[in-house]
Amino acid sequence: MTKPLLILIAGPYASGTNGDPQLMARNLKRLETAAWPIFQAGHVPMIGEWVALPVLESAGASGPNDPLAQQVMYPTAQRLLAHCDAVLRLPGESRGADQDVAIARERGIPVYTSLDEIPRADAPHPEASAH
């Protein structure tokens, strides 16, 4: 048992898409499939694009293919890793996800490659706090 962790889900987003927004959206959905199992295990899932894409939009960028994206996408993940307790690395080629893993290992944060590796948290069950 452990305290709830903030777990960064890392995997392909733009890799292999040749900038196709539909393929990037599909990759994001694939990353998001890990969010519910992480939450069920008592943790907080995080995906860098959940933060970076709204930042890009608020900066007036046209999307992840905008030149401004280079200043936002990877730096967002790096900043998030300063707060994350672990990384879940999903399969697939991804320079950004590999960079996330390298930063996590540098900082001594656990890197999981399977949902089964993530320990359950001591999180209270919602029904325990019911009125």
Structural tokens at position 100: 């996330």
For position 122, what pLDDT does the model report?
A: 76
Cα(41)–Cα(39) distance, integer angstroms: 5
Could you give the domains of the chain?
A: 6-116 (3.40.50)
Residue 39 buriedness (CB in 10 A; 0-12 / 13-18 / 19+): middle
Name the residue with higher pLDDT: 27 or 64.
Answer: 27
pLDDT tops 80 at residue 129: no
List, for residues 8-33, the tens digit of each pLDDT value: 999 999 999 999 999 999 999 999 99
Residue in 108, 109, 93, 95 with CA at minimum distance from that of residue 8: 109
pLDDT band at residue 121, thresholds of 50, 70 and 90? very high
pLDDT tops 90 at residue 124: no
